[in-house]
Amino acid sequence: MPEVVVVGAGTAGLACAARLAEAGVEALVLEARPRLGGRIRTFRPADGGPALELGAQVVHGDRNPAHTVLGPLPPAPRPEAAYVVSGRVARSMGVLGRGAHPPWLLEARLTGYAGEPGDGLSVAGWLARSGAAPAEAATAREWLRQVWAADPDRLAAADVAAAVRRDTGGRGEFTVPGGMDLLPRRLAEGLRIRTGTPVLAVGSGPDGRPYVRTSEGELDAEQVVLAVPPAVVHAGVLTLEGAAPGRRAAAAALVPGDAYCAVVTLSGSAPQTASVFDADGTSGFVSCRRGRPEVLVVAKDAAAACVRGAAGSAAHLAALLGVALPWSRGLAVTAVVAADWRADPYSGGAFCAPGPGAARAALDWARPDGRLFFTGEAALTGRGLPWLQGAYADGRRAAHEVLEARKP
């Protein structure tokens, strides 16, 4: 019998198991998918071309723990060109920079908003009071929608600002050469992990000893750490037997935002390395690399639904890309590899944004229940960033709780 079973081999589960191993506690990690990393998913072209990310895109911050796990990482390269699509026309991103309120400046200013959590002011409401012209505010709305994978009407301004201020990850954006999936592979070194093993139920017996049920039977452990998104529990993919109503309510409240990402291979190659922000709200961020036929689409919230709708037809997808990347007009779509995070039963969406009541629900979700412990990006919604640094820190937090509970 393992001392601890960790359910889920995403960043949080692996960070937790790695910390337990450091402390000499034997953990067994059970993972539903055939691969590690959860919402990290790297795509590698068959001809050995550069890796593209269908999940987490960049490492945020120069003090992000990913630098400790992987060694110093290089800054994300600047594209040769950046464009913004507005009114179905792609123009140089410089047009936004010439205005008084480009979206990135409004995003930075929002961080300074010091309202009380729960004051009812949404990010959309904050933008309306920001002094930005209506067109600038509309562009920033779409920008923030893509950053947070949430409708700015349902993002709590004070909680967003507090989460960014509390982040200790530092500044800048960094990439992992060769692919982001190096992070879970590194974290997994030396751990006992069973992939392809969906956990169906978790609970505690009459003696308080936790159990984990898979299709192969039941497994006892001294402690169990649940490192799956709460959406997986809310959807009934994993049943929390005997869970208190508060925990069920927390799982229902921690709804991750929608995201649909795709690597679309075209019949011709890109003439330049470019990044495109679609302010019209139909395709999120689109990027391509000089001399490569792959185009990466990362679309969140309403834009995710648009790309999902277009992805069913090569002609519709080509038409969508033709707006963001005029050079692609007339080219055919030869392959599509998509990550539909909302439809994926083991994620249920992108990540949890600080909406009304989410910070409270996150505290309820994170609270241990006897010998059951809970972790993941959703567990610190509103108190930290729901990204890799948050998942990693929260995995270590859960490991600390397990170790404290094991003290005689």
Ligand X SMILES: Cc1cc2nc3c(=O)[nH]c(=O)nc-3n(C[C@H](O)[C@H](O)[C@H](O)COP(=O)(O)OP(=O)(O)OC[C@H]3O[C@@H](n4cnc5c(N)ncnc54)[C@H](O)[C@@H]3O)c2cc1C
Interface residues toward ligand X, by CB under 6 A? 7-13, 30-33, 38-40, 55-58, 60, 198-199, 227-229, 232, 237-238, 259, 261, 298, 341, 346-347, 350-351, 376-377, 386-388, 391
In the complex with ligand X, the residue whose CB is nearer, 132 or 379, is 379
In the complex with ligand X, the residue whose CB is nearer, 7 or 96, is 7
In the complex with ligand X, the residue whose CB is nearer, 58 or 140, is 58
In the bound complex, what is the minimum distance in angstroms from residue 268's beta carbon to ligand X? Answer: 26
What's phi and psi for 108, nearest 5 deg?
Answer: -65, -40
Residue 275 CA to residue 84 CA, distance in Å, equals 9
Contacts for 128 with CB less than 8 Å, ≥ 6 apart: 137
Residue nearest ligand X, Cβ-based: 10
In the complex with ligand X, the residue whose CB is nearer, 137 or 160, is 160
Question: Which 3 state secondary structure label does DSSP give 270?
Answer: strand
In the bound complex, what is the minimum distance in angstroms from residue 177's beta carbon to ligand X? Answer: 16
Angle, alpha carbons 285-287-291 (nearest 5°): 175
What is the four-CA torsion angle of 229, 233, 235, 241, rounded to 10 degrees?
Answer: 170
Nearest Cα neighbor of 285 from 264, 303, 258 is 303
In the bound complex, what is the minimum distance in angstroms from residue 104's beta carbon to ligand X? Answer: 15
Residue 236 CA to residue 233 CA, distance in Å, equals 5
- DSSP letter for each residue of 202-217: EEE-TTS-EEEEETTE
In the complex with ligand X, the residue whose CB is nearer, 137 or 359, is 359
In the complex with ligand X, the residue whose CB is nearer, 52 or 137, is 52
Pairing of strands 27-30, 89-92: unpaired
Both tokens assigned to 248: 């069920």
In the bound complex, what is the minimum distance in angstroms from residue 196's beta carbon to ligand X? Answer: 10
In the bound complex, what is the minimum distance in angstroms from residue 115's beta carbon to ligand X? Answer: 25
In the bound complex, what is the minimum distance in angstroms from residue 27's beta carbon to ligand X? Answer: 14
